Amino acid sequence: MTNSEPRPTHTGLAGLLADPNQDLGITLQGLVLETADVDEFLAALANLAAAALTTASNAVSCGLTVITKKKGITTASSDERVRALDELQIEFGDGPCLTALRHSSLILVVDTRGESRWSDYMEAVWRNGIGSVLAVPLDVAGDAEGVMNLYSTTPHGFTGPDITAAEEFAYSAAKSLSLALMISQLRNAKDDLTAAMQSRSTIDTAVGIVMAQNRCGRDTAFKVLTRASNSRNVKLRDIAAHVIASVSGETDPEAYFDE
């Protein structure tokens, strides 16, 4: 294709936006609701980005990198080649994706054969059949950071319209990713609370058993359990569960509360 020839339209993204029943924002919200966790959401998002940003003359693959305080680095990709290249970039500790992430700025590698930055990584990228790379940061809410890494087998694969389409996609994707991360945090908090209440219920039951067996007060019974926990280097909940099992035969006592 010469520079004078018109660029093909982004049929994937245009189709999503042209059909009111398949608006990109609604599609992304659907991904958030339909996927089980952040990892599954990112995998679906990478595939959607690759399909939406591919043109008739430029096949695009997508890799996503997200960093959170709790999980560290999480990656997802639309194919195995991209997965390997994203993991390799993390091993090198530098590259277009990580640079875009650090500086919150778009990074374009026009032709991987002549790119002087990240020379070792660029050599590996070119050997794997990638001609150009576009890294677009994701403006994720909270403490998380994210970047969308787009790969093309063609040098000069990303021109003005491609970059604009990628930035528009990234803007919407970042909002949905923020929502997915928020839901994940709430789910984890709920799980932590449930586990804490389960432990508390088990310990309270064991305290009652010790009180009955030793005809002592609550504080004394609790000290008996904590001393056993410390001397045996076993978690207090496990000691409590053992006490309950010795009386009732229950090996995994359930908490008696409504979530």
Domain 188-248: state its class.
Answer: mainly alpha
The pLDDT of residue 5 is above 90: no
pLDDT tens digit sequence for 155-197: 999 999 999 999 999 998 888 887 877 776 656 555 555 666 7
pLDDT at 212: 87
pLDDT tens digit sequence for 94-137: 999 999 999 999 999 999 998 999 999 999 999 999 999 999 99
pLDDT-derived band at 257, boundaries 50, 70, 90: very low
How far are the Cα atoms of 15, 40, 97, 138, 234 from residue 88, in angstroms, in the given order?
34, 22, 11, 21, 41
Q: How would you class 85 by CB atoms within 10 Å of its CB: exposed for 0-12, middle for 13-18, buried for 19 or more?
A: buried
For the chain, residues classed under CATH 1.10.10.10 are 188-248
pLDDT at 132: 96
- The CATH superfamily label for domain 11-186 reads GAF domain (3.30.450.40)
Span 29-36, average pLDDT: 73
pLDDT tens digit sequence for 54-93: 988 889 999 999 988 777 888 899 999 999 999 999 999 9
Residue type, 51: A
Helix or strand (DSSP H, E) at 120: helix 119-127
Which of the two residues, 85 and 203, has the higher pLDDT score?
Answer: 85
- Give the closest residue to 57 by CA, choosing from 161, 172, 127: 161
Kindly report the average pLDDT of the chain as a whole number.
81
Which of the two residues, 55 and 29, has the higher pLDDT score?
Answer: 55
How far apart, in whole angstroms, are the C-alpha atoms of residue 138 and residue 149?
Answer: 10
pLDDT at 8: 42
For the chain, residues classed under CATH 3.30.450.40 are 11-186
